[in-house]
Structure 1
């Protein structure tokens, strides 16, 4: 009887110790996500300021990247993009040549070893930040997600967490990085649950929420508690709701095609000695375009902002959309890396401006920026295949009125239903084709 009592006590002490280690890893993962987002954002802004020659003070709340690019001379833009091509080509060639194989976050969460290689992941993340800062059209959100997920994997291993717990923490690290870099704690938690773990059980939900909130609060100490985009509070009108129902499927088709295009570009990107050559040529091409259209540079935040505030004409929106899709494709095809969240947000906003312009000829009165906010959410929902996360992202990034949720949900539903139907139909046809 005494031995049985001691066994129960020992087991209870072991469970308590494990729970404490798990809680410590949750807290440290949130802290790591916040510091990763804050540190990489500081690095990005510092490089932008130095490259384009605008004031370093204050680093986060001063002159915008688009203002700095616009003020820089045309030939300086070309020179900076040439440097970007050299860094991208040489850097990623070196990573593929000498580092351990990269492991994506989704693969780490789904596999039997959730740890990401430290050197390869760190170099990969830094290259993304540096190239986006210099003007690459790809997104910066993958870098803090990868760094925070890598740290979460190491913390889980050191704490002796189980494999399933470690997978959850790696996913939470990725969500924390996203929450920190864009000040989107709700979207960060939903990204973990919807995209990575595909579970809303409490064992996933609690750490996802806690880590994302901690990360966002830590990042706010340097980045501030401000939305990513300044957007007026547009009214939710009957015209806008009808347009959302009609435009949603069209946006879903466009998002599906964009996903196929970028996926093919990544699949065929070089990893050998051709990579530095193609990257240099690609970014020189973008620099030449930026001599005349400087708003093209960067991850797409500039075009998205002018779309959201309604200050971009329909013809210019159409031109920017075509050029943005082109340079994102050429950059991925050349071997550059980066996220597609902000590029997708930008594409959706610009496409919605074009579709909204046609609609306004039939039913006038809706501000162009209202179309853009809805289009951004609908495009992201289908291109990333995470409708709940997309809605939360757009709401936290733009902070529209609560009533605006209805047209956004209408457009998102139509977009996702259409893109998934097309994806399923194509998959069925592929299975029916004889080998």
Structure 2
């Protein structure tokens, strides 16, 4: 809750909107669009300095970072205090306009708190592993108000088991985390959904395009992994981040939608309020921007950026389909595309379905096209990795 409130505070100060309240009804995209072009470039210049000097200091003066997966895999791999600085840098840079996601920071803080707590208990190695994973899942549940999604993420991605011993604490911790976050963030879905209906035509489209999203998600995951592997971890972070983030700011002068984790473009897709040209331009820019920021050494999540790419990627085949079988709004294609791309890019089919259902609170009937697309997506994903 506090990390999310910090994110909103930074956004409002950086772009000069909703200054009287932290949680407002004005979206980040509206604030960025209304901001002067010089303010967008200036905010990203500040972001460049914070990212470059901040992560350089974390790597130079802090203990070596331990990832959540490493901490879950081995209870002897302790997450250091530098994790707090690492998480805060992610929140501040995303608030300033970094195109990466914000969800890793609360997951890291949740896992770190769990690590500290289990030290003071006499838990077995197996239960220690479960509780650290639950801390990460609870962080996700709180920041996005997705209690079931946080629990499924813990089981499918972190622990890779659905045993009763793991499921009970995963569900309880994620629900408690989401309830606590309501105090400051309220009980609201992440996206506004128009009234969308499922049709036979949408089901057929979902069956046909699932492999496209599967291949695209796998390719995107490899691209992000390669960019992270080549990122600097020394003084070169400063010039790299300086160059990349300022260029992103310049690109945001004609394309303000580029700034932030991508929630704005996703909402445009769900509202069917995006043209084919704008979708293609934003798709190319988002791919370049996220990859470049990772290559520069910045950190952040890939969940919302992956959803953004899925929504934008669904636009072209969706418009082509409506030329033959009209009547389906672009928003319906976006829901399916987001789910299928997220499932493949992060290799989490069940979590992707549950997250999108909780993010959007879309009609239960959408499970049919979503699951069909995810099935084709994951089959292609597995084929690409074989």
Q: Which residue of 2 aligns with 1:6?
A: none
Which of 288, 291, 302 is the equivalent residue of 1:329? 291
Measure, in 1, the Cα distance between the counterparts of 2:360 and 2:75: 38
Give the whole-Å Cα distance in 2 for the aligned partners of 1:168 and 1:420: 27
Structure 2: where are the runs of 5+ without partners? none
In the other structure, the counterpart of 2:330 is 368
TM-score when normalising by structure 1: 0.88
User: Do 2:75 and 2:128's aligned partners in 1 also have CA atoms closer than 8 Å?
Assistant: no
Could you say which residue in structure 1 is the equivalent of 2:11?
Answer: 48
The counterpart of 1:237, out of the listed 169, 174, 199, is 199
In 1: Cα distance, 2:80 partner to 2:236 partner: 25
SS at match of 2:252: helix
Distance of 1:315 and 1:101 partners within structure 2: 44
How far, CA to CA, are the matches of 2:281 and 2:217 in structure 1? 17
Computed over aligned residues only, the root mean square deviation of the Cα atoms, in angstroms, reads 0.9
1:171 pairs, out of 122, 127, 133, with: 133
Instruction: Determine whether 1:61 maps to 2:24.
Output: yes
Q: What residue number does 1:422 align with?
A: 384
Larger Rg: 1
Structure 1 residue aligned with 2:36: 73
| 1:210-221 equivalence runs, <5 A | 210-221=172-183
| Residues 258-305 of structure 1: per-residue CA shift (max 9 Å, x gap) | 001000000000112211101010011001001111111000001111
User: Secondary structure at 1:291's aligned position in 2?
Assistant: coil
In the alignment, structure 1 residue 340 sits paired with structure 2 residue 310: no
- Displacement of 1:233 in angstroms is 3.1
Q: What pairs with 1:115-194 in structure 2 (closer than 5 Å)? A: 115-118=78-81, 120-194=82-156
CA distance in 2, matches of 1:305, 1:369: 9
Range 280-289 or range 356-365, more displaced:
356-365
Gaps of 5+ in 1: 1-37, 425-435
Structure in which a larger fraction of residues adopt helix: 1
1:84 counterpart = 2:47: yes
Indicate the larger mover: 63-72 or 399-408. 63-72
Q: How many residues are treated as equivalent by the alignment?
A: 386
Check if 1:228 corresponds to 2:190.
yes
SS across alignment from 2:69: helix
Distance 1:156 1:111 in 2: 13
Task: Please name the residue that 2:213 is paired with.
Answer: 251
3-state SS, counterpart of residue 421 of structure 1: helix
In structure 2, what is the Cα distance between the partners aligned to 1:57 and 1:205? 41
Query: Normalization by structure 2: what TM-score?
Result: 0.99
